[in-house]
Amino acid sequence: PKDVGILALELYVPSMYVDQTDLEAHDGVSSGKYTIGLGQQKMGFCTDREDINSFCLTVVQRLLENYKIDPREVGRLEVGTETILDKSKSVKSVLTQLFESYGVTDLEGIDTTNACYGGTAALVNSLNWVESSSWDGRYALAVAADIAVYAKGSARPTGGAGAVAMLIGPNAPLVIDRGVRSSYFTHCYDFYKPDLTSEYPVVDGKLSIQCYLKALDECYKLYKKKVADKQKIDVNLDSFDAVLFHSPYCKLVQKSVARMALIDYLDKPNQNSDLEKYRKIKLEDTYFDRDVEKAFVEVSKQQFVDKTKPSLLVAAQVGNMYTASLYGGLISLLQSKTLQELTGNKIALFSYGSGLASSMYSITVKNNDALVKILSNLTGVQRNLDNRQKVAPLKFEQNLELRQETCHRAPYEPVSSIESFFPGTYYLSRVDEKHRRFYERV
Ligand code: ACO
């Protein structure tokens, strides 16, 4: 099959958020720490009425409805998540409920987990299936979703929650470039969830930033090499119309653009005399080097504004959606441009999951009917974000305590209201004494 890639995209974010300025005041940190220091504006969250199953039910059903996809046209369904409700039963198995009534049970795919990388793994599995001898002509659906919550403390403002579903098949407008995806996988304890009764991770913030930047270095260098070897093209930041990242918080993304500019410079030093002193530095010595960071943030300032900032809408307004973060970035970018602006674009994407798994790959945008449909479906993204309900930090905190106490309880009747929910949202109606979970739709 030709031009295998993404044919449709759907986003779901919960209907409630806490404002990061309010959170700064509530947490008693210096004003500007979350909003300027981390670059975050709002943080989406959910109550005990939602869980990872309901998130995925909502986003998949919405994609099928909004793009008028008959479930019988789908032959593979993959879920990437690190929000684990059950050590055995997959979220995918819950989603089969949306297909079974159409007689669709020949539906391969299960869940994939490795921190924020699962969404990319789901996408890669879907692409591989369509390009393989197992393919039967139907679409694949890749779902990335997470509820990102942290214990009280410095990591809490970097939470978030959301889901993205992507329809994968041939003749796509968002074609995944073949043969150039570059990956870096290794072992580290930067962020992990060893306590299976808790939704909170164990996180070494500083180490996680170092691991993220190291993974970016390795993926970008290898991507450059692969393109140079195969296509005899020297890749640099200007090879791309857009550069997208997994976004734990937006400030790290701006530093990542600077990092790529640094790698480009070390690759092919230019005549900029301000940078001369950095010519001989080693990448691994510079993860927390303020001077290097400052110099290359300055050098890449305009590139950040042009190529990356448009992709940070959902990241800034919702927070880290873990597996869905990078794909929320793709949605943010697409909804910010016109068909003409996007046509022919080359988009770089960097996916990172702690522990660690990472890849860089690229997309070439082709103008076809499916692109028109995607753009028309995404026109509501900003409105949707604006229509959410603002909740005071204290209430947000009480809600996290409620989740903490009840997320694995059985039997359980959720207590939170569904009043503010967007139409079409699935919610948890009850958990029975055997831990079986039941959902209804607004
Ligand atoms: N005004 C403006 N900026 C401020 C202010 C202020 N009043 N106060 C602090 N800042 C800046 C700091 O200078 C710093 O920016 P810099 O790094 O550019 O200098 C930034 O705000 C954050 O402040 P720190 O003191 O470094 O924050 P802290 O150490 O408390 O926490 C961290 C930050 C480590 C990111 C924490 O939120 C965390 O652990 N998050 C989860 C881990 C994470 O997201 N890791 C990223 C990759 S892994 C993943 O995706 C989960």
158 contacts: CB under 8 Å, gap ≥ 6 = 38, 40, 148, 150, 248, 249, 319, 320
CB 339 within 8 A of CB 368: no
User: What is the token pair recorded at 41?
Assistant: 């504006």
CB burial readout 328-363, b (16+ within 10 A) else e = bbbbbbbbbbeeeebeebebbbbbbbbbbbbbbbbb
| Domains of the chain listed by start with CATH number | 5-441 (3.40.47.10)
Q: SS3 of 376, please?
A: helix
Helix (H) or strand (E) holding 143: strand 139-148
Which candidate, 138, 24, 9, 16, places its Cα nearest to that of 70? 138
CB 78 within 8 A of CB 143: yes
Residue whose Cα lies nearest atom 38 of ligand 1: it is: 155
Cα angle 79-377-316, degrees, rounded to a multiple of 5: 70
For strands 437-441 and 426-431, give the pairing: antiparallel
* Residue pLDDT tens, the chain, 442 long: 999 999 999 999 999 999 999 999 999 999 999 999 999 999 999 999 999 999 999 999 999 999 999 999 999 999 999 999 999 999 999 999 999 999 999 999 999 999 999 999 999 999 999 999 999 999 999 999 999 999 999 999 999 999 999 999 999 999 999 999 999 999 999 999 999 999 999 999 999 999 999 999 999 999 999 999 999 999 999 999 999 999 999 999 999 999 999 999 999 998 888 899 999 999 999 999 999 999 999 999 999 999 999 999 999 999 999 999 999 999 999 999 999 999 999 999 999 999 999 999 999 999 999 999 999 999 999 999 999 999 999 999 999 999 999 999 999 999 999 999 999 999 999 999 999 999 999 9
Task: Please work out whether the CB of residue 37 comes within 6 Å of at least one atom of ligand 1.
Answer: yes
Adjacent-strand bridge partners of 44: 17
Å from CA of 436 to ligand 1 middle: 39
Residue whose pair of structure tokens reads 């958990």 in the numeric block? 431
CB 11 within 8 A of CB 164: yes
| 183 known member of a binding site | no
Q: Which atom of ligand 1 is nearest to the CA of 252?
A: 46
Q: Which atom of ligand 1 is nearest to the CA of 352?
A: 50
Å from CA of 197 to ligand 1 middle: 27
387 contacts: CB under 8 Å, gap ≥ 6 = 15, 422
